[in-house]
Structure 1
Amino acid sequence: MTDRRLAVEAWESLFRAQHEVFDELRSDFDDSDMSQAEYDVLLTVTRGDDMTARLRDVTANMLISQPSVSRLVDRMVANGLLSKCPDPEDGRGTLVRATEAGVSSFRRVASIHGASIARRMSLLSNDELAQLRDLSSKLRAQRPRS
Structure 2
Amino acid sequence: MTDRHLAVDAWESLFRAQHEVFEQLRVDFTDTDLSQAEYDVLLTVTRAPEMTARLRDVTANMLISQPSVSRLVDRMVARDLISKCPDPDDGRGALVRATEAGASAFRRLASEHAANIAERMSPLSDDELALLRDLTAKLRRPKPDTDC
Q: Which string of whole-angstrom CA distances, capped at 9 and with x for unpartnered residues, describes residues 92-125 of structure 1?
A: 1100000000000001111111010000011100
Hey, which bits of structure 1, 4+ residues long, moved more than 4 A? none
The match for 2:116 is: 116
The match for 1:44 is: 44
Task: Tell me how far apart the structure 1 counterparts of residues 14 and 76 of structure 2 sit (CA, whole Å).
Answer: 32
Gaps of 5+ in 2: none
Q: What SS class does the counterpart of residue 83 from structure 2 fall into?
A: strand
1:1-146 matched pairs, under 5 angstroms: 1-143=1-143
**TM-score normalized with structure 2 length:** 0.96
Task: Tell me how far apart the structure 2 counterparts of residues 79 and 117 of structure 1 sit (CA, whole Å).
Answer: 27
Count of aligned residue pairs for this structure pair = 146
Task: Tell me how far apart the structure 2 counterparts of residues 144 and 11 of structure 1 sit (CA, whole Å).
Answer: 20
Task: Tell me how far apart the structure 2 counterparts of residues 19 and 108 of structure 1 sit (CA, whole Å).
Answer: 25
Task: Tell me how far apart the structure 2 counterparts of residues 143 and 109 of structure 1 sit (CA, whole Å).
Answer: 36
Task: Tell me how far apart the structure 2 counterparts of residues 144 and 9 of structure 1 sit (CA, whole Å).
Answer: 23
Q: What SS class does the counterpart of residue 17 from structure 1 fall into?
A: helix
Deviation at 1:16, TM superposition (A): 0.3
Q: Which string of whole-angstrom CA distances, capped at 9 and with x for unpartnered residues, describes residues 32-68 of structure 1?
A: 0200000000000001110000000000110111110
Deviation at 1:81, TM superposition (A): 0.1
Deviation at 1:144, TM superposition (A): 6.8
Q: What SS class does the counterpart of residue 2 from structure 2 fall into?
A: coil
Q: What SS class does the counterpart of residue 97 from structure 1 fall into?
A: strand
Task: Tell me how far apart the structure 2 counterparts of residues 65 and 77 of structure 1 sit (CA, whole Å).
Answer: 18
Task: Tell me how far apart the structure 2 counterparts of residues 128 and 85 of structure 1 sit (CA, whole Å).
Answer: 42
- For 2:79, the aligned partner's letter is N
Task: Tell me how far apart the structure 2 counterparts of residues 51 and 87 of structure 1 sit (CA, whole Å).
Answer: 14
